[in-house]
Amino acid sequence: MQKNLKRMATMHRMQVTGLELFYKQGFYNTSIDDILKSLSLSKGAFYYHFQSKEDFFVSIVQNLIVQKVYSMLIEPIEGKENPLNVIANCFENALETAEHNEMDYGFVLGNFITEFNGKNPEIMQYLKDILKVWEVNLVSVLQKGKSDGYVDRHIDSEGVAIYLISSYIGVRTMMVEGNCRILRYNYIQQLRHYFRSLSQKELV
Q: How confident is the model at residue 201 (pLDDT cuts 50, 70, 90)?
A: low
User: What integer is the mean pLDDT of 25-35?
Assistant: 96
Within-domain flag for 35: no
* pLDDT tens-digit readout, 92-142: 999 999 988 878 889 999 999 999 999 999 999 999 999 999 999 999 999
pLDDT at residue 150 tops 90: yes
What confidence score (pLDDT) does residue 103 get? 81
Within-domain flag for 112: yes
Within-domain flag for 148: yes
What is the rounded average pLDDT for all residues in the chain? 93
Q: How confident is the model at residue 153 (pLDDT cuts 50, 70, 90)?
A: very high
Within-domain flag for 62: yes
Express as a percent the part of the chain with pLDDT over 70: 96
Residue numbers of the domain that contains 87: 54-198
DSSP helix/strand/coil, 173 = helix
What confidence score (pLDDT) does residue 203 get? 44
CATH number at residue 190: 1.10.357.10
0.85 cut: is pTM over it?
yes
| Whether the Cβ atoms of residue 195 and residue 201 lie closer than 8 Å to each other | no
What confidence score (pLDDT) does residue 1 get? 64
| Whether the Cβ atoms of residue 116 and residue 122 lie closer than 8 Å to each other | no
Number of domains forming the structure of the chain: 1
Within-domain flag for 4: no
